[in-house]
Chains A and B, each alone.
Chain A
């Protein structure tokens, strides 16, 4: 492989790498006929991102003709090459990427103003093919907007927040922070409601809710915002991955993020909106103040009428061999759950657990509920896994 990127496109490549670094620790490089593919996947394989830069993106693009070549390397070391935003904007004139297979190294050379030459020789490992299987075109829910809209949306949430829930109906999209049952009553719930006409394209065939990690969405937006290209979001039912895309004539970026396959997720909303019609117009004077009456005695927790079933964030086996994240679900049975279950069926359960138990036993669906926790399908929760590794 021997390719040259000039001027502003170096900055685009740099943004893509920064963006990928929010996903995983390793950068997978694969020069293909249709362009240079840069990919990353997180350690629990619940988030995957891929950029494909078409040959026209480069001022020179030559790849080995005989066999396919793939490698991976620490993304941090690639990121370091493009660390300084200032120098990328002011001094870097072109970037030369050259593969020296015999030496097992990939060389990035930055040609800068005043004749300064920065050469980075990075060692790499051979890698397997990394491809996520997803079919975004079959998805019922498709939205397209200016990246600014999503950037403005995520700024409402604190940096520490792990997951967001997105719900849609025909006219609106709601984005809120995902709060575990046991944190309700402690955590601030923030919800943003966006009208469909803020989008360039708004098609919601399935009125449902999905929950996914905010960190990777933020990573996607790092890139999308810098290009100002319209972004698309595709999703289906909970449990199927959400796909975020940004495309123009010379590049394509796809971020595939797992969603919680939490059947009851969509009834957990702070304004009860997911499947309902939009809330009635809020007339300040006519608002029924009595509905906001609060009982004096706060020692008794309010009945979990609107609370959903528990979603213990079970962690999938650390590194699945299966690279695809689509529909990657794990059926898990752990001893801890068993004990919890036992505990709840004997003696007076504590309040917190009680609501958890009832939430599980009384789902709206007809599923058998004798051992609700054990039979629950849960998707690998990446953020949890990341912290463990």
Chain B
């Protein structure tokens, strides 16, 4: 299930807000990438879902923007914001890539507070510009006539790890309402080093297990539960993933309405989150995680 062929709801395009004169790009300044949004939260919220490390890789293509964050070569999170979510999305190259500090970017995007419902439905209007290699990413943010200009330094992008997670190799897949997993993730026994996921065509169907200091716990979701949107398990598979790696995905879970859990023949885990933004548009966040090598055979 690639992000590009996911059906999304009709976009409700808002009227484009014109930026004040001071924020217009100077004539002659050639930007390789310009994007604007009527509501900066539509970007900042989805970035929050992957904000577990400072360094983020931005890759913009004519299709949209992909932001990648990685941890220990074992975990990768990607946020996808399609081009048509933006009111303006101009790109002069096939691929524009740079690395940026995500924590700083989020503070900038939320400079006016970034609260859900600001007074009188006011939202922060955003314009992002990038002139190319070596230049900072420039943000123009405007709310209620106040303008903030941010210049965030960029670095050369590192090549994201290719997890080679291929849908043809998927053995098991379930789609759950996020609500039901949120509860489980908020209650996870953090003294357990791993989270074990069992997926099986027979009992226990879909099970999350922890092994902590004072005992173990199993959360079982029957395949016919109302919470289960889709259940496609072909083979019993039990894999363990480092708790410390999976914990950050809770942020994505909190923002999403549905989550797709998949494992492939190698035991790699893919978690895809469907996130609805303030305007009802749909974006995706995906987490990939390697299984824990030291599998206990006991």
Contact = CB atoms under 8 A, between A and B. Distances in A.
Direct contact of A and B (CB under 8 A): yes
Interface in B208-242: 212-222, 224-227
B206 to A, nearest CB: 10
Nearest to A119: B218
B214 A123 contact: yes
B169 interface: no
B180 A77 contact: no
Given A115-B222, A117-B219, A84 B186 contact: yes
A114 B217 contact: no
Interface majority SS on B: helix, strand, loop or mixed? mixed
B187 A83 contact: yes
Interface string A50-94: 000000000000000000000001101100100110010001000
A2 to B, nearest CB: 18
Contacts of B217: 118-121
B214 A122 contact: yes
Contacts of A117: 218-220, 222
Contacts of A105: 215
Contacts of B221: 114-116
B219 A116 contact: yes
A84 B188 CA distance: 11
Nearest to A118: B219
B189 interface: yes
Contact of A77 (B184, B213, B222): B213
B40 to A, nearest CB: 30
Nearest to A90: B183
Contact of A84 (B183, B214, B219, B224): B183
Contacts of B180: 114, 116
B227 A114 contact: yes
Interface residues of B, number: 21
A117 B227 CA distance: 13
Contacts, number: 61
Contacts of A87: 183, 187
Contacts of B212: 77
Contacts of A73: 214
Nearest to A116: B221
Interface string B156-192: 0000000000000000000000001001101101000
B189 A80 contact: yes
Contacts of B224: 115
A123 B216 CA distance: 9
A40 to B, nearest CB: 15
A239 B213 CA distance: 39
B178 to A, nearest CB: 13
B187 A84 contact: yes
Given A77-B213, A105-B215, A119 B225 contact: no
Contacts of B213: 74, 77
A179 to B, nearest CB: 39
Nearest to A123: B215
Nearest to B214: A77
A114 B212 CA distance: 26
A67 B189 CA distance: 33
Nearest to B218: A119
Nearest to B221: A116
Contacts of B215: 77, 105, 120-123
Contacts of A115: 221-222, 224-225
B225 A116 contact: yes
B280 to A, nearest CB: 25
Contacts of B187: 80, 83-84, 87, 118
Contacts of A123: 214-215
Nearest to A105: B215
B270 to A, nearest CB: 23
A114 B214 contact: no
A118 B220 CA distance: 6
A73 B219 CA distance: 21
B214 A74 contact: yes
Interface in A94-125: 105, 114-123
Nearest to B191: A77
A83 B185 CA distance: 12
Given A83-B187, A84-B183, A84-B186, A116 B214 contact: no
Nearest to A113: B226
A83 B218 CA distance: 16
A73 B226 CA distance: 35
A137 B183 CA distance: 45
Q: Which 3 A-B pairs have the closest CB atoms?
A: A77-B214, A122-B215, A115-B222
Interface of A: 73-74, 76-77, 80, 83-84, 87, 91, 105, 114-123
Given A116-B219, A118-B220, 9 more contacts: A74-B213, A77-B214, A77-B215, A114-B227, A117-B218, A117-B222, A119-B217, A119-B219, A123-B214
16 contacts: A73-B214, A77-B212, A77-B213, A84-B186, A84-B187, A114-B225, A115-B222, A116-B221, A117-B218, A118-B217, A118-B220, A119-B217, A119-B218, A119-B220, A120-B215, A120-B216
